Structure 1
Amino acid sequence: MMKHSLRRDTALLEAVTVPSQAALLEDLRDRIAREEGFAVATMNLDHAVKLRQDSSFRQAYAAQTHVTADGRPIVWLSRLAGRPVSLVTGSDLVGPLIELCAKLGAPVALLGSTPEALREAAERLRAHHPGLQIAALLSPAMGFDPSGAAAEGLIEDLQQSEARVCLLALGAPKQEMFAARALQALPCIGFVSVGAGLDFVAGTQKRAPRLVRRFALEWMWRLSGNPRRLFRRYASCAAILPALTWSALSMRVDNAVKRE
């Protein structure tokens, strides 16, 4: 049982494939130019908890072409394992990716959140990124099932929109599961899971101040704003840290032995 848990948690840490935001954007630029699709997930501790528990989520993650470290603990654990990576959050990807699409003339679809938030986000993104083409604003109903018929309808809408990149603001695990399904059906579109990123752009949610994020205290900011909803989530995240730390140390030792 312990060996199985160690292999499982090692696989979680090995799932992070993006060393930096610059490297990611360079690769996405090439893929967009080649009309080659992609799916970007941004791993944090909440994802790690879900990945341990949900086989469907694990399958969706395995279908992603890129996985970034979205959260200081994932960055620290990766470095401890001897696999140094930089912090690349979904929210921080929105601006640079939209700028890239504007320069390349690649139409963008915004999917998720609420119709009002998407309209406001689209207006602000157009204002800040001249030349940006917004191909579609798609907001599924509450209770959206990424494996159901509604998802198939959204895939058809995306195909008709001629979007080249789609920002997904559905939350985990829905956005990653939809990305995996949609990429298989639409291999020329890039899907990027940005969580609350579009709500931050629209102003319907307020992100932690930059100084708070710099000192890795964004989790405390969020918890203070919604303790009833987030306390259990953060407790679950804290509970898996010892096992992930042990896995990271084991990876570092194994790599050191292999180099000798």
Structure 2
Amino acid sequence: MKYGKGDAAVVVNVATRAALFQALRARFAKGQGFALATLNLDHLTKLPRNAGFAAAYHAQDLIVADGRPVVWLSQLAKQPVALMPGSDLIIPLCELAAEQSLPIAFFGSDEEALHGAAAALRARVPGLEICHIAAPPMGFDPESAEADTALRNIANSGARLCFLALGAPKQEMLAARGREVAPGVGFASVGAGLDFLAGRQRRAPKWMRMLALEWFWRALQSPARMVPRYARCFAILPRLTLEAWRTR
């Protein structure tokens, strides 16, 4: 399913969870890295305004749908894709890593949150090996020499899978750079997923997520930051809906 137009257009190229994990198993077996992005409406508002972000998205190997509007648009276009939020993928990805004895790494957020997430995951995923944890300083630039050093440190740690918790567009840009600097590592951009595991942020109750109201929960938790973001998201929905209808 394709979203947007021109250089800012993005294709969700993995439609189901089964297809995603089949692709991941194949890459791990061959010693290949990857960049995994989870597309949501906020990303679709940023892509036309940020050429670097658009270029980073084009460099992603695997793109899944994160957010019910993205899924609904695919259904309208009769090219359905499954809902796969980054936060929901963390534990299954860790289970796959533990099953295959693949060390993992965390990069982003802050040290307290990363160590809290590490403790939570070790308790939930027996045999999980976390070999590298690093939080960048304020103002971290994913296109800097400092970023290259961070990526080499991740690769040198022996990690085969690295969760990036920097938020968009930084995490997707760092993942794209990682494909060149650390080609044997899989980079998964998970946003606030590690903060949720660490208890630093509280995720919407399951019933709200089932009713597609997680956006409302997050707006209530942080109105100054989230209300303008969601306003931009709602503003592009009519255009995306028309494009999806035409795709039918």
Q: So what's the TM-score if we normalise by structure 1? A: 0.92
Q: Which residue number corresponds to residue 98 of structure 1?
A: 94
Following superposition, the deviation at residue 143 of structure 1 comes to 1.1
CA–CA separation in structure 1 for the residues paired with 2:5 and 2:218: 32
Q: Which residue number corresponds to residue 11 of structure 1?
A: 9
Q: Which residue number corresponds to residue 120 of structure 1?
A: 116
Contact 1:135 1:162 in 2 (8 A): yes
The structure 2 residue matched to 1:34, chosen from 9, 15, 30, is: 30
Residue 111 of structure 1 aligns with an amino acid whose one-letter code is F
The structure 2 residue matched to 1:181, chosen from 177, 182, 186, is: 177
Following superposition, the deviation at residue 129 of structure 1 comes to 1.1
Distance 1:171 1:221, change over 3 A: same
Structure 1's unaligned 5+ residue stretches are 253-260
CA–CA separation in structure 1 for the residues paired with 2:21 and 2:109: 24
Distance 1:6 1:89, change over 3 A: closer
Contact 1:110 1:137 in 2 (8 A): yes
Question: If each structure's helix is expressed as a fraction of its own residues, which one has the higher value?
Answer: 1
Residue 232 of structure 2 aligns with an amino acid whose one-letter code is S
> Deviations for 1:210-258, whole angstroms, at most 9, x for unmatched residues?
0000000000000011111111111110110011111111111xxxxxx
Q: What aligned pairs does 1:1-260 form with structure 2 within 5 A after superposition?
A: 7-8=5-6, 11-12=9-10, 15-252=11-248
Q: Percent identity between the aligned chains?
A: 52
Following superposition, the deviation at residue 124 of structure 1 comes to 1.5
Following superposition, the deviation at residue 120 of structure 1 comes to 1.2
How many positions carry a matched residue from both structures? 246
> Deviations for 1:107-133, whole angstroms, at most 9, x for unmatched residues?
000111110111111111112111111
Rg (Cα) greater in structure: 1
Contact 2:152 2:181 in 1 (8 A): no
CA–CA separation in structure 1 for the residues paired with 2:222 and 2:119: 28
Residue 209 of structure 1 aligns with an amino acid whose one-letter code is P
Following superposition, the deviation at residue 8 of structure 1 comes to 3.5
Structure 2 counterpart SS, 1:143: coil
